[in-house]
Amino acid sequence: MAKKRVTYVCLECGYTSPGWLGKCPSCGTWGSLSEQSPPPAGESGKRTSKGADPVKLSEISVPSDARIETGIGEFDRVAGGGLVRGGCVLLAGSPGVGKSTLLLQVASRLAERGERVLYVSGEESAFQVKLRAERLGAGGDEIYLLPETSVESILSVIEEVSPSVVIVDSVQTLSTETAQGLPGSVSQVRESTALLVDEAKRRNLPLILVGHVTKEGVIAGPKLLEHMVDAVFQFDGEKGHPYRVLRAAKNRFGSVSEVGVFEMTGSGLAEVSDPSGIFAGSGAGGVPGMVVYPALQGMRTLLVEVQALVSRSYLPVPRRVSVGVDLSRSQILSTIVEKYCGVSLAGCDLFLNVAGGWKIADTGADLALVSAILSGALDVPVPSGFTCFGEVGLG
Ligand code: TYD
Ligand code: MG
């Protein structure tokens, strides 16, 4: 008799293993592997219904209203000019960054433009959402609020209300009868998303899903959602800073280099249409270790201040700390400074920081970081109005 085969799936990243493990070898999370039974025979595999007919690419017409502008410029910029009908967006971000706030504002602006929005809230009650909406000054007759987590009920409400945009907050709370496991488990999240995405494509509706990310920055529950949706928007912000940055990690309908910048205020998120100076710090010239770097973001340039603090260390192994810069990149750069600039950092703690909670991902910032380290180590401030960029190679 064939033994029932059981696999173990990591709830954080979707890694599968034939046996149970205490720590996921893929993402390193402890205790995240959970038992998953295979689907009952006969449920998957054979396709019975007739599929779609092929259509000539040249004969497909694109409707003029294929995109719905939300009216929030910074959001539309990242989306590539507005939400696409039938397009599914995953809005990922850590808890508390402002995802629900942003989407409630998006819903409100869409409703003002005459779109009917269905806002499904699996995390907050209708009353809580209403309170928030009052604070945001959001509202409108065309927003339908649904505190629900069952996908089957959501689908029947979509049938009933026939909205033109659906927002689901969040995928981790959804559950469906067709999958096993608790809400938030890989099988539930995957199946629920698949059902909603299917429905959105069938009805040509834009669908926005909220997904929480874990501390390590991976989309919690399932990294696997990334390829089921058309676009993944990442909403980031540093604790204690009011600025929030929206970027597209993937976008089938637009560029991934554009960013949207918002400021969290007492009455919700405000657009920052000219963010060029906000990450440049106080601009206090004359302080050693501070260098402004022009970061290119889509069609805009942002001035970002990189800061290096070099000080005598009292530890046997000096500290190398970097915030907003990749640690291995900063170690390479500090070694280059030692080797080629003749400045010894031995016995010194080195702290690198990017002002305003900005994160530097491109190597174009190398020269600015090297300048900051040199300026900090030599205690010589760079002239005010000075800026630099460029990649620094190992040679
Ligand atoms: P929220 O949208 O609930 O975050 P998420 O859905 O990503 O978990 O945002 C919560 C935070 O935003 C909370 O810490 C308070 C802050 N906030 C404001 O500062 N101003 C506001 O008007 C609102 C609604 C929230
Ligand atoms: Mg929320």
How does DSSP assign 265-310, residue by residue? ETTEEEE-S--TTTBSTT--TT-TTEEEEEEEETTEEEEEEEEEEE
- Report residues near ion ligand 2: CB below 5 Å: 100
Ligand 2 center to 264 CA (angstroms): 14
Nearest CA residue ID for atom 25, ligand 1: 268
pTM, two decimals, is 0.79
Task: Mark 219-244 as b/e (b = at least 16 C-beta within 10 Å).
Answer: bbbbbebbebbbbbbbbbbbeeebbb
Distance 347 CA to ligand 1 centre (A): 43
337-390 tens-digit pLDDT = 999 998 999 999 999 999 877 888 889 999 999 999 999 999 999 988 889 999
The whole-angstrom separation of Cα 277 and Cα 76 is 22
Quick: pLDDT tens for 207-229: 999 988 866 555 555 467 888 89
CA distance linking residue 112 with residue 358, whole number of Å: 33
Which long-range contacts link 369-372 to residues 24+ away (Cβ below 8 Å)?
A: 369/291, 369/293, 369/306, 369/308, 369/325, 369/329, 369/330, 369/333, 370/333, 370/336, 370/337, 370/341, 371/291, 372/289, 372/290, 372/291, 372/306, 372/307, 372/308
390 pocket-lining for ligand 1 (C-beta < 6 Å)? no
How confident is residue 72, by pLDDT bands cut at 50, 70 and 90?
A: very high
More confident residue, 223 or 268: 268
| Mean pLDDT for the chain overall | 86
Q: Indicate the top mutation candidate among 243, 245, 264, 269 to test ligand 1's pocket, ranked by most ligand atoms within 8 A of CB.
A: 264
Q: What pLDDT is attached to residue 29?
A: 78
Q: What pLDDT sits at residue 117?
A: 95
At residue 187, the pLDDT reads 79
Say yes or no to pLDDT of 311 above 80.
Answer: yes
Which pLDDT tens digit goes with each residue over 145-175?
999 999 999 999 999 999 999 999 988 899 9
- Which of 91, 97, 101 has most ligand 1 atoms within 8 Å of its beta carbon, as the pocket-test mutant? 101
| CA-169 nearest atom, ligand 1 | 6
pLDDT of residue 243 exceeding 80 = yes
Q: How far is the CA of 263 from the centre of ligand 2 (A)?
A: 17
Which residues are 207's β-sheet partners?
88, 166
Whether 244 lines ligand 1, by a CB cut-off of 6 Å, is: no
pLDDT tens readout for residues 14-50:
788 898 998 888 878 788 787 876 655 555 545 556 7
Decide if 292 contacts 386 (C-beta within 8 A). Answer: yes
φ and ψ of 132, to 5 deg: -65, -45
